[in-house]
Copies of this chain bind each other. A is one copy, B any other.
Amino acid sequence: MKTLINESLVAEQNQSLMPALQEDYDHLGAKLQRSGIDIEAVTQQAAKFQVAVPSWGTGTGGTRFARFPGIGEPRNIFEKLEDCSVINQMVRCTEKVSPHFPWDKVSDFTELKGFADDLGLGFDAVNSNTFQDQPGQEHSYKYGSLTNTCPQTREQAVAHNIECIEWGKTLGSTALTVWIGDGSNFAGQSHFQRQLERYLDSAKEVYNALPDDWSMFIEHKMFEPAFYSTVIQDWGTNVLCAMELGEKAKSLVDLGHHAPNVNIEMIVSRLIQFQKLAGFHFNDSKYGDDDLDSGSLHPFQQFLIFNELVDAEHRNQPGFNPAYMLDQSHNVTDPIESLMNSAEEVQRSYVKALLVDRDALYGFQDSNDAIMAANTLKAAFNLDVAPILAMARVRNGGAIAPIATYRESGYRAAAGEKRPSSGHSGSGIV
């Protein structure tokens, strides 16, 4: 496996940080031992945890007002994969990359697969794009794609989804994520029911093109780009559509796609219960679909989501097999740093959720001891699990201090030399 950051640099950095890490790890081990928890078992689970990164996340994001490019932004999927390999080299829990088409379309997908293989990377769910018009495209998505009132436009959108599946097969993906921007900006602009009927018709065509071992992930979103109504506006519509389509269709949760104040962890629980949880697009948000770094503002909420996930694992909940992916917009940071940091934040929530004393929790729940139930969760959340995360990275060949080591490597500056700025984002986002 090819690595783009000098491995001896990683080793050297780790060496200097190891004594303190070992001390912290040993103490945490002793402390957990008091509660009967074997830190080694937890570290092994942490070391197996994986969250995919989005190819488009390696470019600098922006808003409708402006995009302020960074230096050395990747200009194509090959350069994006290089950045992803750096991320994974440092954190060792991001082996898969989720591509987005046509942004990541290439002439030879077999070549692309080989390029990724060499970097030790695989491909996660493929993403179709019918929320933008591409140059030369026959029909515009201005008024919708899979739900457009024009049948030719719908067919074009269906065909694009099907070609995404084809490309994904070559890449080794087994899932198609469908997010559409369809909706309306005016009351009356769209007939809600007919619009969803058209969605279901189109989605069935896509569904029918899925290989046997593939899944279709449906993504809901409250608003943006449409500002009065969105076709798949919430998990309710999402799950009903997934039920209409069939077993292979499931509902994807993006943390920034809900109404204010909504209890997202409860939605996760509901989707688990009804065996329709596809997985996640992790990010954080304060106002809308802010696409901030995962766990940067609401770490306890992210922990509560993982509490549901680990609980389902613990209970061997039937049909439980969610896909984890980051989906963020890095407007003011180096995307590589944000993605490394966020992967670690997601992993942190997972590890803390592993440390919840579930038997105690169930007991407090059954006896309505609300404060002790709450404190049982908080006891796990309040633990400083950084030593477990760092040790898991080291054992997998990663860096104890990913950002520091990455900065020391000079990778970004070198990318700046190799990749002169075009002023346009390789991410595809305007």
Contact = CB atoms under 8 A, between A and B. Distances in A.
Contact of A263 (B229, B261, B288, B376): B229
A2 interface: no
Nearest to A66: B132
B270 A430 contact: no
A186 B296 contact: yes
Q: Identify the interface centre among A273, A293, A370: most chain B CB within 10 Å of its CB.
A: A370
Contact of A185 (B222, B260, B362, B370): B370
A308 interface: yes
Contacts of A362: 191
Chain A contact patch, size range: 35 or more
Interface in A109-143: 131-133, 140-143
Contacts of A418: none
A259 B266 CA distance: 14
A228 B68 CA distance: 17
A267 interface: yes
Interface in A345-389: 348, 361-362, 364-368, 370-378, 381-384, 386
26 contacts: A62-B225, A63-B224, A64-B64, A65-B225, A66-B131, A66-B133, A66-B181, A142-B332, A149-B368, A185-B332, A186-B292, A186-B370, A187-B297, A187-B374, A188-B307, A188-B364, A188-B376, A192-B308, A194-B365, A223-B287, A260-B260, A296-B378, A332-B368, A333-B370, A383-B384, A384-B384
